[in-house]
Structure 1
Amino acid sequence: MRPLAISLALALAAAPALAQEPQVDPATVRACFDDATGTTPDCVGKAAAACQSQPGGDTTLGISACLQGEAQAWDDLLNAQYKGVRARLLEQGGTDLADQLLDAQRAWIAFRDADCSLVYAIWAEGSIRTVMASDCYLHKTAQRALELRDMGSME
């Protein structure tokens, strides 16, 4: 597990369980991914916002769970895009290009986790810290998924 993911998991595990945990609709995230132009579309966060209107979604824990749920859906898309780009690079450019992508992805993961851990630390004195870090993780993950999608469509 990544450092931020561990922090977020511990924060949620230490809190009382939600009576009914709100759920993110992955189809909303997929539609955002499919329709987005560029890497910072307005639709990022809409699945989490819809989730927050469900019972339990308007608490600090619920908001965090919704943000993390959408981030997970984006992470699934990111991983699929990464695999597709890597396979294409192996076919077209061989191992060197595919290894450069791997290095770039590892560096990006380290950056995302460090940056969002910083956000968590900045807000360490408040209960909003998990919400802020989860929002950071969501937006950075969505942006990278879209970057990889666009990279895969380059000719």
Structure 2
Amino acid sequence: MIAMGSLSGAAQAQDASVNQGTVEACFNGAPRDAGVPGCVGDAANQCQAQPGGSSTIGIVACLQAETAVWDTLLNREYKATRAQVDQFDTGQPPVSEALLTAQRAWIAFRDAECSLAYERNRGGTIRSVAAASCLMRMTAQRSLELRDMRGGL
């Protein structure tokens, strides 16, 4: 997302940090197949209460910091799900290849959807917040979907 990338450097300079445990507790406490839990964004909200966190740049930096934790969880869940589906491969096109194709398509969809959120809010600084929030929520949702996928295999 080119438009959002121009702000990300400034937002990251904000040196925002979130409590990783808050995000992990949200992940661990989320019921299976329940969509995006209400606790997504809690760590970013706590970050925003810190000095500098309530400016647009601070809010975006806090959202990006929580997204980074969700992204770590997503990568962990993807690897675990891929390892599990590899056990079921029978010599035909591997299930893990279908998972990889789906994951690549999901990344493209997420990026397009969050670029849309950015573009829909033209003319205001809220567009960066909308795009960063979109990335956080979609990343959280996908990490939970991958976790839940293993339960159905």
Structure 1: gaps spanning 5 or more residues: none
- Number of the residue aligned with 1:148: 146
- CA change 1:12–1:102 in 2 (3 A) is closer
- Number of the residue aligned with 2:56: 60
- Number of the residue aligned with 1:7: 3
Superposition CA RMSD, Å: 1.8
Q: Distance in 2 between matches of 1:77 and 1:129?
A: 26
TM-score normalized by the length of structure 1: 0.89
Q: Paired residues, what number?
A: 149
**1:24 corresponds to 2:18:** yes
Percent identity of equivalent pairs: 49
> Deviation at 1:96?
1.5
Q: Distance in 1 between matches of 2:23 and 2:10?
A: 28
Give the aligned residue type for 1:150.
D
Q: Distance in 1 between matches of 2:8 and 2:150?
A: 35
Q: Which moved more, 1:119-128 or 1:98-107?
A: 119-128
Structure 2: gaps spanning 5 or more residues: none
Q: Distance in 1 between matches of 2:43 and 2:133?
A: 12
- CA change 1:68–1:14 in 2 (3 A) is closer
Q: Distance in 2 between matches of 1:91 and 1:14?
A: 44
**1:100 corresponds to 2:94:** no
